[in-house]
Chain A
Amino acid sequence: MFFKKIDFIFPTSPDGIHEFVETTILKVSELVLLSEKICQRIRLILIELATNFIKHSLTQEGILTISIKEKLLEITMPDKGSRFFELLKRKIFPNSIGEVAEISFSDTNNHFIKIISENKFQFLNPYLYDFKIEPMKDHYGLYIITLASDYFSIYHNQTSKEAEFMISLAI
């Protein structure tokens, strides 16, 4: 079974995002054939993850891991120090496990989140479920990742004791 895993270091300033994204895609392309369409989606995801890291991370060092298992590409990124997971958890519960919660971070920034477990939440593509979504948002980061990926979740990693984003797409 084909399995590869590579770590990439996030840029610490916006100037480094372009090179980070293109280098990452190049390295992944050396391991597995990627269509232009898939490259575009990966590019959008990486841009937003890098932007999110630069804007919100409380640490200077961020590692992004890309795993390729057969026809599945998985991207994981620790959400170091930003307390986003706790904020999300407070907004999500009192809904129940298995339910879909509509969460708003502002008037125009709403997301539909499936509660997979007490510590794992999946961002749902609103267009696949016909959920009402405001297209003119004030923030697009999480939204872009949700739409560009096949699966986007945040969970609490019991081993590292950190929250992690996990994104996957079929390649």
Chain B
Amino acid sequence: MKIQEKKTDNILVLYIQERDANLAIAEEFKELVLNKIASGETKMIISFASVSYLDSSFLGALVSVLKNLLPLQGKVVLIELGSDILSLFELTRLDKVFILRDSLGNALQEFK
């Protein structure tokens, strides 16, 4: 799984650099992020700029990440979702559960 990490204002920014966010990488992604949370990272932004589609496995991984952050008063913002992925979040009503923003700049505002 190709993923780039950066730290901005003490917030972990993860750039998923895979076209397909699907069952092939969902478990690995979940483990990586849960390990980050276990290491103390509770503020994160995840970019989907390179992702064309996302399946139910990856959606489940994202929900698992959120469920682990909530008891720690952590926060995750998802950014740069393409129209297909956005429509998936709207369809499943997860756009009411996750914070979705169109850019890194707007996402960083969520942590101020």
Q: Could you tell me the distance in whole angstroms from the C-beta of B34 to the nearest C-beta in chain A? A: 14
Interface size, B (range): 20 to 34
Contact A136 to B63, CB < 8 A, known contacts A18-B53, A147-B92: yes
- Knowing A135-B92, A136-B97, A141-B56, the reply to whether A40 touches B87 (Cβ < 8 A) is yes
User: B92 and A140: CB pair below 8 A?
Assistant: yes
Number of interface residues of A (CB under 8 A): 26
A171 to B84, CA, bound (A): 18
A137's partner among B20, B60, B88 (CB-CB below 8 A) is: B60
Where chain A touches its partner, the secondary structure class is helix
Within the complex, the shortest CB–CB distance from B70 to chain A, in Å, comes to 9
B93 in the interface (beta carbon within 8 A)? yes
A-contact 0/1 string along B7-42, CB 8 Å cutoff: 000000000000110111000000000000000000
CA distance A8 to B23 in the complex (A): 21
Subset of 23 A-B contacts with CB under 8 Å: A14-B22, A14-B23, A17-B20, A18-B53, A43-B53, A43-B84, A47-B53, A48-B56, A51-B23, A51-B56, A54-B23, A135-B92, A135-B96, A136-B67, A138-B60, A139-B60, A140-B56, A143-B56, A144-B56, A144-B59, A144-B92, A147-B91, A147-B92
Interface positions of B (Cβ within 8 A of A): 19-20, 22-24, 52-53, 55-57, 59-60, 63-64, 66-67, 83-84, 87-88, 91-94, 96-97
